[in-house]
Amino acid sequence: MPFPGGFPRSAPGQIGFTREELTRILDLYGRMVAAGEWRDYAMDFTRDFAAFAAFRRAAENPQARVEKRPALRARQGMWTLFGEHGQVLKRGHELAGVLAPMERRLVRAVEE
């Protein structure tokens, strides 16, 4: 069903997150907010990838960014976790494994 304003619900060929994927990402985001690590987030959806970026402050580069690129599914995996300076922290076929470094960081933040 089209959006009431006349726009399609999503652009044709646009990559997005499934409900389960987004729930997993937002669960981590909520726990990082509660730990005082993150304060803002942004999502980007294109024909090639979907991205979720988490920020410590809204005016700076994202502290972490998770990208889903289905075109890489057969190679190194469609999930990539990028660090604050754009470095690849983890790649993989499963979202849980790619989010693991951030989960460990959360455990350290709670212990401090």
- 3-41 per-position pLDDT tens digit: 444 445 555 678 999 999 999 999 999 999 999 889 999
Q: CA-to-CA distance for 21 and 28, rounded, in angstroms?
A: 11
Q: CA-to-CA distance for 1 and 111, rounded, in angstroms?
A: 48
- Residue 106 binned pLDDT confidence (cut-offs 50, 70, 90): confident
Residue indicated by tokens 């599914």: 73
> Which pLDDT value is given to residue 21?
95
Q: Where are the alpha helices (DSSP H) in the chain?
A: 19-34, 95-111
- Residues 59, 74: contact at Cβ < 8 Å? no
Q: Give CA separation, 86 vs 2, 89, 109, in Å.
A: 36, 9, 22
Global confidence as pTM: 0.81
